[in-house]
Structure 1
Amino acid sequence: MTSSSQLLWGKYVQYDRDEESVLLDPVGLDSVYLDRGEVADLSAAPPTATHDALAGLGFTPDEPPTGRREALRARLHDLGLAPTPSRISGLRVVLTDRCNMACTYCFVDTNTGKPDMTHHELAEGLTYLFEQNAGQREVSIQWFGGEPTIRFDLMRYGDALADELASRYDVERIRRTVVTNGARLTDEMLEHFVRHQYGIGISVDGPPAINAVNRRLLGGQSADDRIGANVRCLLEADGLYVGCNLTPTAANIGQLGETVSWIIEELGLKFIYVNTPIPSEGRWRVKGRDLARELYEARLTALSKGGMLFSVLDRAFQALDTRRPMLFDHMQGDRSLNAALLPGSRISLCDINFTEPSFIHTLDELRAGPELLGGVAKEVAPYEKCGDCPALAICGGPSRNEQALVGADAPDEEMCAFYTGTVEIAVWDNTGVQ
């Protein structure tokens, strides 16, 4: 099967495959499928029946009055989509940087000797969260580290305080999650998780031969048997939502499908979230198009085995399904923000970058200047070449976090390849949004 793309009428992307095509408007996200006869008809001199049909759907050869970057910004304005968050509705609470593992790719500097969060700092942060969400339906709290269960005492204290604050500020529901390597589980923890109906994300990168390449205990030994036993305990408990956080690494790239099969069939986890590779040392560490293709194949594997796999690829599916840009990945659907609460009563507006100074503010600064939340907002298509990209309204250029990590406004070429690859997959796929 051969596939290629070309620009049609200066503003549409025509994806060709085996003499059939899909036309995509990279600003409005409208798309249309053309069979072989229509592709042949389209290549003839207009007007033809296909030209007339496309015109009826809004696909015309008229040049836009402005460039595509400006056209996208105008569309966002017309849709009422703004990049500035309205409030912080969720906190990733970084209790400690201590960890019982030394994962080679972790984006957190672990076991540095820095102080853990104090009870007072946790109380200050949770109070701020509920203040900002008085009368709202839900807030979210995610316990994070290092390995957060090392400070289970803080988790237990924070959950009790959160219940009090929810009552005080008339918040209907608290969504609690913890991201853990799964190597530490006690009966006391299990009882607590069940009582509060936790969502638990187990960080696993594949079967032992893969997982142990990057994920080992501090002493160098594997913890896979212990993790497997703890996962079984969690799955057997009532009221818990247990899933897997899977990170693409050099050890599992090329084997994501097999990895997903093992996670579902052997580990028993049916929900898998694949982390997006984070640029390190100024560049991506994976081939973008290869990763896009692997994510799609892994997604089909998960569906065939009764599981669900979510990744950035789903952003392309959702955008094409709704015909709405999915640009502001730092925001929730209601324009609220998930941020990170750090030791020292500080908040990082980017919940996966705890070191970039422009993201970090004190609670007092955020109370006094709520407009500071805009400091994490993406500048749509900041790079001129973004205007030629088929993924314009799905990627929109690098986020502030990606720009900080690569040290430039221009996106990494592998990031561009990843997003254009996901769009090409999405326009042909018919499995839809999970």
Structure 2
Amino acid sequence: MAATRLLWGKYFQYDRDGEAVLLDPVTLNSCYLDRGEVTDLSAVPPTATHDALSELGFTPDGPATDRREALRRQLRDLALDPTPNRVSGLRIVLTDRCNMACTYCFVDTNTGKPDMTEDELAEGLRYLFEENADRDEVSIQWFGGEPTIRFDLMRYGDELADRLAAQHKVKRVRRTVVTNGARLTDEALNHLVRHEYGVGISIDGPPDINSANRLLLGGRPADDRIRRNVRRLVEAEELHVGCNLTPTAANIGRLAETVAWIIDTLGLKFIYVNTPIPTGGRWRVNGQDLAHELYEARLVALSKGGLLFSVLDRAFQALDTRRPMLFDHMQGDGTLNAAYLPGKRVSLCDINFTEPNFLFTLDELRYHPEVLGTVTKRVAPVPACGDCPALAICGGPSRNEQLLIGGDTPDPEMCAFYTETVDIALWDNTGVQ
């Protein structure tokens, strides 16, 4: 990690091998200084470097700034509202039944709770299409447990969604399913192809890695079966097939190798790396190491013609666009992807199905849309956020993370991860994928 210090009490200066990068953590403006300019900057002003920096907006004058308040003003000026304006997509949790017992899953599986009914599914879909009448798109993601266990509900829901889209003049229904890939019937495959699905397969790596946390209920690995099904999905050209990769103790230290295996062996060119969430009240990985591993894995994916997306890309996107990337609880258009649960309940956080603060009935959402603000992120909730170079990229813990850790104070590993991602993105200006 490069040495970091404050220049004029306002800008973060990253020094490396005699060169430097300056970063304004609020506006996300940055500039590069070569060795001569770094030397010139340390001389008595005004020098040519001081004058050049002033033209770019980096000046020593002006009052001391409360960076947290400055960021909030910046968000207002950019009309970036952290409160969702509507629900545009549903992660539909059909069942908590699963044919695998993954040790780190954030869903309580095989509890014996009832599956979703057709009536419940129909009401949830009606709500979604009513809220998005005359819009370009809605999104439906089938989820579990293992959603393919209730393929009958997926098929019923897709047929109903087509009718509702026509009725409410919604131009496109974007369908995805998150599956462990261990079961795939010919009927299900044909259905996925017909509706041009996006299929996300949860795989942690080669068999020795995957079997560390992902086993069938009987205790056996399912890797051979999963590879066969992945091959069938990839060969169906109408599908968009990718991998959901979760960092765990088994693959940390081997993420680049894992990504190479996924691309070379499975033929999956799109890899999405899940963000560690503190389901146990804290991050379970070293944040700084994870940032570097994701960067190395990103380069491996690019070298093999693949794409790897992770939270690391938030730093690249923010610095490329000079636009804060704080609101990971929302879609880019200010809408929300929520979780729809059995019992006609909606969780406004699509990765937390149990927190009472997030749970609402469909009628509550229909008649009291202001409850969408429940999931709104409070930007930079602690004073220390103002001294962080990742201020406009992380902005402190989300509402979900605050509830999981039991307060506003971020997990130290989360802070380490985001500060390291800023360092990486500043020195590598290859931009977004």
Distance 2:65 2:423 in 1: 25
> Post-superposition shift, 1:280?
2.7
2:139 counterpart residue number: 140
Look up the equivalent residue of 1:26 and give its one-letter code: P
What is the total number of aligned residue pairs between the two structures? 433
Matches within 5 A, 1:32-431: 32-64=31-63, 66-431=65-430
Once the two structures are superposed, residues 262-320 of structure 1 have per-residue CA deviations (whole angstroms, 9 ceiling, x without a partner) of 00001110000000001032111001000000000000000011110000000000000
> Post-superposition shift, 1:236?
0.6
> Post-superposition shift, 1:333?
1.5
Distance 2:271 2:277 in 1: 18
Query: Match of 2:58, SS?
Result: coil
Look up the equivalent residue of 2:71 and give its one-letter code: L
Once the two structures are superposed, residues 178-202 of structure 1 have per-residue CA deviations (whole angstroms, 9 ceiling, x without a partner) of 0000000000000000000000000
Distance 2:63 2:411 in 1: 28
Once the two structures are superposed, residues 327-364 of structure 1 have per-residue CA deviations (whole angstroms, 9 ceiling, x without a partner) of 11111121111000000001000000001111110001
> Post-superposition shift, 1:368?
1.0
Distance 1:333 1:275 in 2: 18
Once the two structures are superposed, residues 375-422 of structure 1 have per-residue CA deviations (whole angstroms, 9 ceiling, x without a partner) of 101000011110000000000000000001111111000000000010
Query: Match of 2:281, SS?
Result: coil
Q: TM-score, normalised by structure 2?
A: 0.99
Q: 1:64 to 1:215 in 2, by over 3 A?
A: farther
Report if aligned partners of 1:84, 1:335 keep a CA contact under 8 Å in 2.
yes
Query: Match of 1:60, SS?
Result: coil
Query: Match of 1:10, SS?
Result: coil
Report if aligned partners of 1:14, 1:21 keep a CA contact under 8 Å in 2.
yes
Q: TM-score, normalised by structure 1?
A: 0.99
Look up the equivalent residue of 2:321 and give its one-letter code: T
Once the two structures are superposed, residues 22-71 of structure 1 have per-residue CA deviations (whole angstroms, 9 ceiling, x without a partner) of 10000000000101100010011111000000000000112445400000
> Post-superposition shift, 1:4?
1.2
Report if aligned partners of 1:10, 1:63 keep a CA contact under 8 Å in 2.
no
Distance 2:262 2:272 in 1: 11
Look up the equivalent residue of 2:292 and give its one-letter code: R
Look up the equivalent residue of 1:323 and give its one-letter code: R
Report if aligned partners of 1:359, 1:375 keep a CA contact under 8 Å in 2.
yes
Distance 2:134 2:279 in 1: 40
Query: Match of 1:420, SS?
Result: helix
Distance 2:194 2:280 in 1: 42
Distance 1:62 1:398 in 2: 32
Query: Match of 2:204, SS?
Result: coil
**RMSD of equivalent CA atoms:** 0.8
State yes or no: 1:27 paired with 2:26: yes
Gaps of 5+ in 1: none
